[in-house]
Amino acid sequence: MEGAQSKHPERIPDRTAAWKKSKKEEHKEILLNKIQEELSRSSQPGCHSEFKILNSRPIMPLNEANKILFIMMQQTAQRIGQEINSEHRRGTSDANFFGSAGVPTLDGLGPISRNDHTADEFIKISSLKERSALLALFILEYNRKTGITI
């Protein structure tokens, strides 16, 4: 959460912002309802609050189809001496739109990186070649095993 700073603590800031990631869609609804409920109560005459959602993504489901796809990717990685781990990040990617629509989806296949979405974000340059090789081999393996061309 962030708000406008003032040298005068008795003054109400003209803006604030908050970020919340939720593991479950029903948590999101509970939170939104609570915020709307709180904002509907005016504690100061002449003051009001507004609430807008500026950006939202559906939550990436942890389902069997995604787990199977990940196991296939992990096996491919092992064959070429790479190690990948599963990590569930919920709502940070456009891939969540596909996953939440029921399309088996993997995300996070880009280069190895740290400090995502910060001024200190960086990638491990050597991982560009490694991840490209992994993805190319995975596509070939997926096609061979399923007959589906991607």
Torsion over CA: 120, 124, 129, 130 (sign): negative
Cα–Cα distance between 90 and 23 in angstroms, integer? 6
pTM (whole model) above 0.85: no
Reply yes or no on whether the pLDDT at 144 is more than 60: yes
Helix, strand, coil percent content, the chain, rounded in steps of 5: 40, 5, 55
Q: Write the pLDDT tens digit of every residue in 3-56.
A: 555 565 556 666 666 655 655 666 778 888 888 888 887 777 777 777 777 777
Which residue, 37, 7, 2, 38, is CA-closest to 20? 2
- Considering the segment(s) 64-146 as one domain, its CATH architecture is Orthogonal Bundle (1.10)
Domain map of the chain by residue range?
A: 1-56, 64-146
pLDDT tens digit string along 47-78?
A: 777 777 777 778 888 899 999 999 999 999 99
